[in-house]
Amino acid sequence: MTTATGTYPLVTLNEFIIQRQGDFPYAKGELSRLLHHVGVAAKVVNEKINKAGLVDILGAAGDVNVQGEDVQKLDLFANHHFIAALRATSECCAIASEEDQEITLFDDGLSRDAKYVFCMDPLDGSSNIDVNVSVGTIFSIYRRISERGSPADLSDFLQPGTHQVAAGYIIYGSSTMLVYTTGKGVNGFTLDPSIGEFCLSHRDIRTPRQGRIYSINEGNYAHFPAGVKQYMKHCQVVDPDTRRPYSSRYIGSLVSDFHRNLLKGGIFMYPPTQKAPGGKLRLLYECNPVAFIAEQAGGRASDGHRRILDIPPESLHQRVPFYVGSPDMMEDLEGFLAQEGDPSPA
């Protein structure tokens, strides 16, 4: 099989997970089975997305979620099928989802004894489905800290990102890819529709130290902190020595923007604004998993002043400013933000 990093024998996601099981002697196969079921749910969601224009699953569902956002029909579909797949594993005792106000408990006998809890954004960028733009699923896995055999509780989820045992995303685009890490590097798997399996296509992903892409919603420029505005101008200045100006690329789906920048080199920015001074992206099920992947690939992630993975979660749906990408670009950005000394919008 020819991959982005060379030629290797065909390796499926399940085979790869089993091969790497020795990295976690304490897991005894539970984490492997959990990751396997994530892949199964991804295939189900992928099939529905590919048929979205042919069935009645486009558009808004008529509800508003806990974030105050319009719920899309595919949000509900993805949320339901990931929960169902993880319930079937008996390796997960509870789930926190962007779509649900409270955690979902799996309160039967086997699940109560499970070691892991699962955080997810079941369908990031779902409003783009109507116009056939790439969307994704983001997830992270933690070892529970509550007593096994009892119901999970909120403390199991309010752990810093450094405690993640696995994190990943699925991008549903021109091809469907699952990218994940267990703290031993980052690997990507592309869904081969001819055999219905995710196959290893991007081994040991490393993001370039310096990229040429910056991703930000420039329509909100007037409301950004002064340091972000100055960094954007820095990106646009002609400088042959640093290969500037950089290209502005913004899809509006965190998974899609981050995936491109991870492979090609770049920086993604979602700063605070006057309307959302605390940031907009959710710490637990968007920023922490993406930050874990970025760091494992050689990148960096912060809120502009603090490493994302060190931020102590205070609530299930906590929001933070978010910057992630190539380390040299992150260093430049944080330099501009440090000069301001104030993370609030100008």
Domain ranges (residues) in the chain = 2-202, 213-340
User: From the annotation, which residues make up the binding site for substrate?
Assistant: 124-127, 217, 250, 280
Q: Note if the bond before 245 is cis, omega within 30 degrees.
A: yes
How many angstroms separate the Cα of 38 from the Cα of each of 1, 4, 201? 24, 23, 18
Report whether pLDDT(193) > 70.
yes
pLDDT of 3 higher than 50: no
Fold of 2-202: Fructose-1,6-Bisphosphatase; Chain A, domain 1 (3.30.540)
Mean pLDDT of 169-192: 95
Confidence at residue 67, expressed as pLDDT on a 0 to 100 scale: 55
Rounded mean pLDDT, 282-286: 96
Query: Model confidence over 232-273: pLDDT tens digits?
Result: 999 999 998 888 999 999 999 999 999 999 999 999 999 999
Q: How confident is the model at residue 58 (pLDDT cuts 50, 70, 90)?
A: very low
Residue stretches of the annotated binding site for Mg(2+): 98, 121, 123-124, 286
The pLDDT confidence band at residue 53, using thresholds 50, 70 and 90, is low
CATH number of 213-340: 3.40.190.80
What is the per-residue pLDDT for 62?
Answer: 46
The reported pLDDT for the residue numbered 51 is 74
What confidence score (pLDDT) does residue 27 get?
Answer: 56
The pLDDT tens digits of the residues spanning 113-149 come to 899 999 999 999 877 777 778 899 999 999 999 999 8
Q: What is the mean pLDDT of residues 303-311?
A: 97
Closest CA to 217 of 258, 248, 238, 246: 248
**pTM to 2 decimals?**
0.90
Q: Which of 107, 164, 111 is nearest to 284 (CA)?
A: 164
As annotated, the binding site includes 98, 121, 123-127, 217, 250, 280, 286
